[in-house]
Amino acid sequence: MVEKVCLTIAGSDSGGGAGIQGDLKTFEALGVFGASVVTAVTAQNTEGVSDVHCVPAASVRKQLEAVVSDLRPAAIKVGMLPDREVAEAVVAFFGVKAAEGALPPIILDPVLVATCGDRLSAVTGATFAELAPFVTLLTPNIPEALVLSGLTPDPASNPRAVDSEPALAVDPALVVDSALVDEMGRRLCGVWQAVLMKGGHWENGDAVEDRLYVGGVMAASWRSPKLRTRCTHGTGCALSSAVAAKLASGWELEASVAAARRYVYGAIAHGLQRLGGGQQGVLAHSWNRLERAVPRPTPAELAPFTALAVAHAGEIWTGYVDHPVCRAIADGNVCHRRFRRYLVQDLAYLGHYLRAHALLLYKQRKPTPQSLAGPLRNIAAILSEIRQHRDRLRQGAKENKENDYENEEEEDQENKGEDEWESESLVTTAYSRYLLDVAATGSELELRVAMYSCLYGYGVMGKHMFERATSQRTLGTDIVDQWLATYSGCEYWEAVLAAQRELEALIQASPPSPRDLAQLLQIFKQTTKYEIEFFNQAA
């Protein structure tokens, strides 16, 4: 697989718990290759920060050029920018790359104050705002959010706007209320694309709540039980780096934040409390290497890989199983001629799908009767699907299509293009070639995942369509409703569950590393994209 690269632009932490060191540990733990641009060298340990040396802006610029021109990072995390000159160098570099269309997602952790309360940067909120056009997500702590939003808590902890930038609050025990957090999040969204308001400094009972604001509204929130621990040094660095790592791996923003929170929560829970003599312990960045990349099944989640894959695909998965064509099929108003176009292409694809299953048999290094049974069962089912498709196409040719056209001119236009869609379309060719490429070059597990989004997606889609259809009408006997009955039926769903059990068991028997898991999730996501394009042929 192609190695994903994440770049951190930040200061060095000589104690190893935060900054560049913490970022690189996070990248490694989450399966991406880490590169770095050092903006400052600090003298710090578990007791605090004793010195900050700014790296000259010219050196920062040369580091950026060297790394980006060669390694081409898939995501960038920006942390400590110690002075205006360094900040302006970074802004200028981003501007050039944005103009070239070569700027990846950027996460900005506006490091102004360390978790222990020590001031780390002389950069003002106005200077940080120059980065806003390039930043995908801003992740301030509460003191930093106060600076950047221009708000300050009054004695009653209610939001109050001020005319000038407030003095940076450096009290690590600072506590604000929910209303101020919400006001800061909304106000910051007036400048930044998205803002993650972290809950470490605001009062919320026995829980920690983080809120994601996008477009001025709260898009998502997460609550976790508070951990009674002092191992919090470098939490902001780890969180922003973890989001960058997930974005680099192809995850959507909301899913990336959720995964990053889980990672940091575990790093705090497994923290090294007895390291050093200071009041703060450090994170256990590699804690997830002690855990499985794919959790074990539980009564609440019998298919953990499936859950991860669907979460990783995010809105793309929703766009597949709730495709407009599927809704039209359920409502009984899909165009039959266009649906026949889809069936012709699906018939062509099933031939390639059958070849992929044959290769799945070949890829088994130590086949047993049990391991061969699943693919052979699927091959028999695919042959049955092919026969059904052919029968439906013959039936469809006899059905009256008059209601599919508003006028004769539209019918003539459809008939003119009929010869084109009787042959394999470019979408069908692209999808099947991707599948066969995975079959030829990938592992058995990668091939199973490549075929899984189709099988599992049709099962989920069939259940959704059946529920929608039967709530408003009675299914008929035309080719569309026959197709719907097949993929919403118990026989097909049993086949889906059987394939799911085999896939989940294979993953549990040989747990993938975080890097291998990222590849599997990307394959699932890519085939889901192809499924959407496939259904677009019937639109």
246 is catalytic: no
Per-residue HEC secondary structure of 134-173 comes to: HCCEECCCHHHHHHHHCEEECCCCCEEECCCCCCCCCCCC
Question: By the 8 A CB rule, do 155 and 181 touch?
Answer: no
Answer for the pair 12, 52: CB distance below 8 angstroms, yes or no: no
Residue 80's identity, in one-letter code, is M
The catalytic residue among 19, 236, 250, 314 is: 236
C-alpha–C-alpha distance, residues 437 and 440, integer Å: 5
From the list 42, 115, 136, 235, the catalytic residue is 235
Residue 116 bears catalytic tag: no
Q: Which of these is catalytic: 26, 39, 139, 232?
A: 232
The reply to whether 234 belongs to the active site is yes
Query: DSSP states of 404-449 as a string?
Result: G-SSHHHHHHHHHTHHHHHSPPHHHHHHHHHHHHHHHHS-HHHHHH
Rounded-to-integer distance, Cα 252 and Cα 250, Å: 7
- Assign residue 494 a region: left if phi > 0, alpha if psi is -120 to 50, beta otherwise? alpha
Tokens representing 472?
């408003």
The active-site residue out of 189, 231, 237, 326 is 237
Rounded to 5 degrees, what angle do the CA atoms 321, 327, 328 make? 140
Q: Is 454 part of the annotated catalytic residue set?
A: no
Identified catalytic residue from 4, 25, 77, 198: 198
**What is the maximal distance between C-alpha atoms in the chain?**
85
Strand partners, 384: none
Identify any residues that bridge with 107 across adjacent strands, giving them in sequence order: 77, 137
- Residues counted in the chain: 539
Of 234, 442, 457, 462, the catalytic one is 234
- Strands 75-78 and 106-108, by their bridges, are parallel
Backbone phi and psi for residue 299, each to the nearest 5 degrees, phi listed first: -55, -30
Q: Which residues have C-beta within 8 Å of that of residue 519, sequence separation ≥ 6?
A: 1, 446
DSSP assigned state of 130: T
Q: At what angle do helices 336-363 and 426-441 cross, to 10 degrees?
A: 10
CA distance 212 to 240: 13
**What's at 442, amino acid-wise?**
G
What's the chain's Rg over C-alpha atoms? 27
Phi, psi of 196 (to 5 degrees): -105, 110
Q: How is residue 502 written in tokens? A: 């085999």
Question: Could you tell me which of 137, 132, 84, 141 has the C-alpha nearest to residue 113?
Answer: 141
Residue pair 401/507 in contact by the 8 Å Cβ criterion: no
Residues classed as catalytic: 198, 232, 234-237
